[in-house]
Structure 1
């Protein structure tokens, strides 16, 4: 019985090692295909329109993007402060995943 308990501990350790190795392989594969969006000060972007911001009367026909907005401050880690066309500051910062470059 004691031999079985020792074998169980050894099996757990090898399983943990295999699991960590597999997680590293998956993470490496995922990170290889991810491309970070980077914007500069003064760039014009479109902001993703979320369901709680859209007009409920439009439903599916509502435009998926709002804007254009100008980037006025780079906060870091992909976060940006925006202003609209009239110079009004947007209340909170926005992540680059929710922004898209606007071409004139």
Structure 2
């Protein structure tokens, strides 16, 4: 005994081929719609990220502290902690919107540039 399903009974190869070619003609439109959705999604992600970014403008001649990337938190009673910030350094030149060149307090220039995300204003006492 064999029962065929409605899907097998209603299948027509000629109509199926017509529908497949029709779908192939629409594939470019579907790709364009997907690209538009992707661009809109990326724009939402950028807006969300930029809403949380704090602008830290730094001018030439100001003093800053830079983050110590070798900072190791101290554990225990008798260990001496490494400082999280080091400096002060003087802003020698503003290279870009968030990029600066620093110099040591004695006037010696540092070779690399620093992002203002890794700097903190230093207020002289």
Larger CA Rg, structure 1 vs 2? 2
Query: Match of 1:74?
Result: 94
Question: Aligned residues, how many?
Answer: 98
- Give structure 2 stretches of 5+ with no counterpart: 1-19, 74-80
Q: Are 1:93 and 2:125 matched, yes or no?
A: no
Deviations 1:22-45 (A, max 9, x none): 222222232233222111111110
The one of the two structures with greater contact order (alpha-carbon pairs below 8 A, sep at least 6) is 1
User: Using the alignment, how far apart are the partners of 1:73 and 1:10 within structure 2?
Assistant: 50
1:71, distance to aligned residue in structure 2 (A): 0.9
User: Using the alignment, how far apart are the partners of 1:29 and 1:95 within structure 2?
Assistant: 21
TM-score (norm 2): 0.67
Query: Match of 2:34?
Result: 15
1:68, distance to aligned residue in structure 2 (A): 0.4
- Please list every run of at least 4 consecutive aligned residues from structure 1 whose deviation after the TM superposition is greater than 4 angstroms: none
User: Using the alignment, how far apart are the partners of 1:65 and 1:95 within structure 2?
Assistant: 15
Deviations 1:17-73 (A, max 9, x none): 11211222222232233222111111110011123xx6xxxx433211110011121
TM-score (norm 1): 0.78
